[in-house]
Amino acid sequence: MHPATTVQEQHAIGTQLSLGLEVFLDLNPYGPQALRCRARLCGWIAGRYLIFEPANLAEFRLIRKSQPCAVRFFANGDVWGFISSILDPGAQTPLGLVIVHWPAQANRIRMRAHDRIQLSIPCQIFGHGAEGIPALLDDLSLGGCSIRSSHLFALQEEIRLSFQLPGCGAMEELNAVIRNVRKGPDRTILYGCQFASLSNGSEIGVYIANREFRSDTPKRPQVLVLTANEADRALVQRALNGDTFEVVVVRNLLELGFRLWTGQPAAIMVCEEQRQLSALEACRIIKASPGIASVPLIVYGGNAGFHSQAFDTGADLCLNSLEDAPLVAGFLGTGASAAR
C-alpha cells in the first residue's frame, strides 16, 4: 500500500469543522494504555478553543486541566489530527462538555479510498436472511473490504457488516455491496465488498492512519527522533551502534502519538529546530504525559542557554549537535542521569 503522507496545515483546521462532527479524543496520546473515546463537536471559537460533547463523560473523571490530548477526525476524504490540551475536563461544566485549547497547527494525513491494509478480524454478516453469520475480515480500506466466509452470497447483494476495530471501537452493521466473489482457502469464499458510504470514515480512517505510522512488532528497541530533517535518522542510527536500536523519525507530536501505539520507546530525541511547536514546548508536553514521562528525553542542537531551559523542562541529556550522538549509546546503556 502506498503510504499516507502528512501535511502540516497552518490555520486550516477551521475549514474542516462542522457542528456535529464526530471525533476521537485520545486522552493518553503518549501512553501505552490508550484512553480513546468518541465525542461530537458542539462549537468553537477560532483561535481559542473547541467544545466537545463526549459519548461517555465518565471516561473523563480522572482527566485533569492542561493534560495533553490528541483529537482525530475524518473530513473530506482525509484524516485530520492535532495535539492540544484540556482547557476544562467537563466535570465542572453544567452540560458535561469538554473544552480543548485551539491547536497551534493541525496535520492532514492524505488517504486514498482504495489503499488497503491487511488484517484478520472476526466480523458478522447480516442481510437477506443472514443474521450474524460469522466471517473474517481480511483487508480494509476507506472504500470497502474483503471478507471470508463459508456462507454463500450473490454478486451485487446488499449486506451489513459488524466488526470491532482495535483501539477505535465497534462498527455496527455497515451497509455494503458485494462487488466480486472468488474461491478462498479451506472451502471458504472471498467476497470483495464496497461500502455504501463513507459515513464510517472517522473510525476506519483513524485506524488505517494508526497502522500506517507504526510497526506491528518492533524487532528492536526504538529511538524516536522528533525532527523535520529526515537525514538525522541516519546520523543517529550510526551513532547508536548500527543494529542495537531502531531509529524512527517523527515529524510532529501527532506522529509521535501514532508510533507509541506499539509501546514505550527506549528514548525520545527532540531537535532544537522545530516547524510546529518549539522544542521546549514539545519537551513540556512529553514530560507532562504520564505514559512517557519516564522515557529518557534527549535534546540536540541549540546553545547553552537553550540547554539550561531544556533541562528545566525535564530533558535528561542535551547535545550540542548530532556529532555528539555517540554519547547517547553510552547514556542509554548505563541509564545514568545526565549532569547539567
**What is the per-residue pLDDT across 113-143, written as a single tens digit (0 to 9) for each?**
556 788 889 999 998 777 889 999 999 888 8
pLDDT at residue 334, rounded to an integer: 45
User: Strand 297-300 vs strand 246-250: parallel, antiparallel, or unpaired?
Assistant: unpaired
Mean pLDDT over residues 166-170, rounded? 69
170 forms beta bridges with 164
User: Strand 246-250 vs strand 222-226: parallel, antiparallel, or unpaired?
Assistant: parallel
Structural domain includes residue 40: yes
On whether both 234 and 267 belong to a single domain, the answer is: yes
Query: Domain boundary residue among 95, 110, 125?
Result: 110
pLDDT at residue 94, rounded to an integer: 55
Residue-range definition of the domain harbouring residue 285: 214-334
- How far apart are the C-alpha atoms of 339 and 318, rounded to whole Å? 9
On whether both 147 and 50 belong to a single domain, the answer is: no
On whether both 99 and 123 belong to a single domain, the answer is: no
Structural domain includes residue 16: yes
pLDDT level of residue 44 (50, 70, 90 thresholds): very high
The H or E element spanning position 282 is helix 279-287
Range with the poorest average pLDDT among 52-66, 146-160, 239-253? 52-66
Q: Which is nearest to 109 in space by CA: 225, 231, 251, 227?
A: 251
Residue 51: all three cell numbers together? 467544545
On whether both 223 and 307 belong to a single domain, the answer is: yes
Q: Are 73 and 27 in contact (CB under 8 A)?
A: no
- In the predicted structure, residue 339 carries a pLDDT above the cut 70: no
- In the predicted structure, residue 290 carries a pLDDT above the cut 70: no
Mean pLDDT over residues 35-59, rounded? 84
The H or E element spanning position 309 is helix 304-313
Global confidence as pTM: 0.57
Nearest 5°: the CA angle 94, 98, 104 is 140
Number of domains observed in the structure of the chain: 3
Mean pLDDT over residues 301-315, rounded? 94
Give the CATH number, domain containing residue 228: 3.40.50.2300
Q: Quick one: DSSP state of residue 238?
A: H
